Structure 1
Amino acid sequence: MKPTVISQDTPWSEIHTLLLPAYAETWLMVAIVMLFVVTLGGVVGVVLFNASARGLFPHAALYRVLNWVVNMGRSLPFLVLMAAIIPFTFWLTGTTIGIPAAVVPMIAAGVPFFGRLVENALRELPAEVTAVGVVCGGSRWQIIRSAQLSEALPALVAAVTLNLVSMIEYSAIAGTIGAGGIGYLAVVYGYQRFDNHIMIATIIALIATIQLIQFFGDRLVNKLRHTQGIAS
């Protein structure tokens, strides 16, 4: 005789009492992570590009080492990475559950990913962008800020949009370690308790969030490209 699975779906009228706090936790995680990812990953991407043969300060050894580190960081699936650095996460945060424990592997996964996106965005620029800055006598920082990053702004916004979507996906995976957020809600209520209403609500919330982020990100990218086209 097969065991009968008894589930108790949360009434639709009460879904918001669970979904809204979880949604807020997801955005808290993602906001913290994106602050580090955009800052650190941006630096990594800029150094990667400018240490290459086309950059301001070509350095083959530095490029090879940094390129290897970035490739290593992007090689592991997030769930594997999250499990692999648990000892480091515990040493750093003193816990292996909750938002602090989720933020560490999310940053570790996001920085190399965003760094590569930034490098690729800068590689798409014509070589003349950097050359003009050098001819005009600008410092390295002035050329990077006013020439490279400014000209690559639409591609960088697209990179931030893509990374933001990825971090929301990672936050859902982090729910498996009790990190909170929508992922945790889906696992504990939707999966373990067979609450179909919660599962449906979390799926709709995630899909709607990703669609809105991508929509507004694409709109901003198109607007920036249009502005650059007029300016040129």
Structure 2
Amino acid sequence: MFYWLLKYIVLGPLLRLIFRPQVEGLRNVPSTGPAILAGNHLSFSDSIFMPLVVKRRVTFVAKAEYFTGKGLKGWLTKSFFLGTGCIPVDRTGGDAARAALDTQLRVLRSGNLAGIYPEGTRSPDGRLYRGKTGVARLALESGAPVVPVAMLNTDVIQPTGKLIPKLMRVKIRFGAPMHFGRYAGRLGDRLVERAITDEIMFELMELSGREYVDVYAQKAKLAMV
């Protein structure tokens, strides 16, 4: 209920008025049935603007830190992400990450939309980084199509570390659904999972026009410290 209140009553109308989303290819999002919306990740605001323009509910995973903050800010952040249906994920991997993917699998098996950022974290410099194979496993296990989503300018609207966004028109581009039925029965094959992930990242590169870097974003961030 909180999700729909935020989208259509509280935040949605205001955000549409201020940021006037310019959207291409929205018809590529299926009107019914499961689908994985896989996007590049430029800004905190990606998880706000992309679901805003999609008529159906989109369920994302979000880093666990958003759910464990202290004080008023921590409580507000936690309430926002829980209210919008986000699933916490421990990005250190292991069982916690698997649990988050299992939860998204249940979302898809219920016929709904799951949102995911294959890079695993925000881009440190606006470039597109190597995708993690969780998106491929999700596609193989669910059989759902993958719709690539390019966030085109959210890093300019709200750069990392900036609380107040710039008043600019947000631009989003949805690509054609990608189907991976030809790989049925190949779950667990690392070469197949990597091939699927790379294919998705190639589509995101084409849609976004961003330079691709064949390095994990998290590793790139550490190298910049």
TM over 0.5: no
If each structure's strand is expressed as a fraction of its own residues, which one has the higher value? Answer: 2
TM-score normalised by L of structure 1: 0.30
If each structure's helix is expressed as a fraction of its own residues, which one has the higher value? Answer: 1
TM-score normalised by L of structure 2: 0.31
